Homo-oligomer: A and B are copies of this chain.
Amino acid sequence: MKKTYLLTPGPTPLPESVISVFAQPIVHHRTSQFEGIFENVKNKLKTVFQTKQEVLILAATGTGAMDATVTNLFSKGDKVITVNGGKFGDRWTKMSKQYGLEPVEVFLERGAALNLKDLEKVIADNKDAKAILFQASETSTGVRMPTQEICQLTQKNNMLSICDAITGCGVFNLPMDEWGIDVLIAGSQKAFMIPPGLAFISLSEKAWKTTESSNLPHFYFDLTKERKSMGKNQSAWTPAVSLIQGLQESLRLIEEEGLENVFARHARLAKATRAAVTALGLEVLCKDSPSDSVTAIKVPSSIENGKMIPKLMKDKYGVTIAGGQDELAGKIFRVSHFGYIEQFDITTGISCLEIVLNELGHKVEFGIGVGAALRSLHGDH
C-alpha cells in the first residue's frame, strides 16, 4: 500500500469536498441551475481578486489568459517591458514577440529578486512602452516580485501593469483595485484547488479602455465578448462545466477559511519550509524575496544527479515535488506550500526529503529539518 502526497506548484491537491462535486452527474450549461452556480462563482472570484471588476473565466490554462491579454490589449509594434525572472517571465517576452509587439526585457539572474532601480532605468529609457508584463511570483525560481511597487511605477509613467499571478492570486495578498493592477491573471489548479482547465482574468477600467484600440485579431479569446456573457451568467463559448462546479465548492472553502487566513497559512508554511531546508544545510535559491507559493532549493554539491531527489521522493515514497525547469533542471528542486496544504503536508515533505538526502549520500540527522519546521510553526520546543 502506498499513499501519495502532492507538493507541487500546480496542480495542488483537491479537497475531498471538491472531489465529491466531480462525482456528481453533469448539468447542462444553458440552464438556470448552471447560471446560479456561475453567478455564485463570479461573485466569489471578485473577493479573491479583491476587485469590483468582473473576473472572466476562460476554458483554457493560464497561458491562454496570457495570450488573451496580449491579443486583446495590444497592437502590432507596441513596445512593452517584460520582467524575465525565469521560465514564465521568458514566456511574456516570447509571446509578445510572437504577436509582433516590441518587448524590452529586464533579465534577472535565476533566483534573483527584481531590483526596482534597474526597472526604473529601463522605464526611463522606454517612456513609450505601453505596459510592464511580469509575474507576481515566478514559479520556476520561487521569487516573489514587488507587485505593488511595479504598479506604482506603471501609474506614474502611464503604463499598464500586467500581472501573471498564476501562482500568486489566492496565495498571498494582491489587492487588485487597491494596488491598481491593470490585468490580473490566475489559474484553476493553483490556489483555487481544482484541476487545470480554467484561467481567470480581470481587467481594470484603464485596461478595458485599452482593449478598444487594440488591433490584434482574436476569436476564441475575446475578453469583451466574455464580459458581455458574464452579465448573463454565461461564458461566450461552452464553459468547462464540471470545473466550474468544483470551483464553486473550492471558493466556498476559501470564503469559510477567510482570505486573510489563507494568506497567513501559506506564509506560515513557506517560512517553516525555508527553516527546515536551511536547518538541513541546504540553500534556498532566492534569498531576498522568496515567494510564499513555492520554495526553490539548490541541490547540494554532494549530490551529483539532482534530478534523483524528486524522482526518488516520488517513485519510492509517493511524495511528488517539482524539479528545476530548463536551465535549472537538476540544479534545484521545488517544494510547494499553497492550496489544500497544511502543516503535516510540510512535515511529510521534509521527512521524505530527509530520507532521500541520506539515501543519496548527503547525510543529515533525521528530524533536523522537521524539527526546524515545527519550531517555526509552534515556537521553541
Residues of A participating in the B interface, judged by any CB pair closer than 8 Å: 4, 6, 8, 10-11, 13-14, 19-20, 22-31, 59-64, 66-67, 70, 94-95, 98-100, 187, 189, 195-197, 216-221, 237-243, 314, 320, 322
Q: A99 to chain B: which residues have CB within 8 Å? A: 217, 219
Chain B residue contacts of A241, Cβ below 8 A: 11, 189, 195-196
B28 touching A24, Cβ below 8 Å = no
A195→B14 contact, CB < 8 A = no
Contact call B28/A13, Cβ cutoff below 8 A: no
Candidate in A8, A22, A67, A94 with the most chain B CB atoms within 10 angstroms: A22
Q: Kindly list chain B residues whose C-beta atoms are within 8 Å of the C-beta of A60.
A: 59-60, 64, 220
Q: Determine if B4 and A219 form an interchain contact, defined as CB atoms under 8 angstroms apart.
A: no
| Cβ contacts under 8 Å, A221 to chain B | 67, 220
**Copies per complex?**
2
**Contact yes or no, A61 B240, CB < 8 A:** yes
What would be 11 A-B contacts, judged by CB atoms less than 8 Å apart?
A4-B25, A13-B25, A29-B196, A62-B237, A63-B219, A63-B237, A63-B238, A66-B220, A99-B219, A216-B217, A240-B243
CB atoms of B196 and A240 under 8 A apart: yes
Q: How many Å lie between the Cα of A101 and that of B317 in the bound state?
A: 55
Residue A11 contacts which of B10, B28, B217, B243 (CB distance < 8 angstroms)? B28
**Which residues from B are CB-within-8-Å of A26?**
6, 11, 13-14, 189, 195
Closest B residue by C-beta to A65: B220
Look across to chain B and name the residue whose beta carbon is closest to the beta carbon of A58: B60
Are the CB atoms of A240 and B25 closer together than 8 Å?
A: no
Across-interface contacts of A195 in B (CB, < 8 A): 26, 240-243
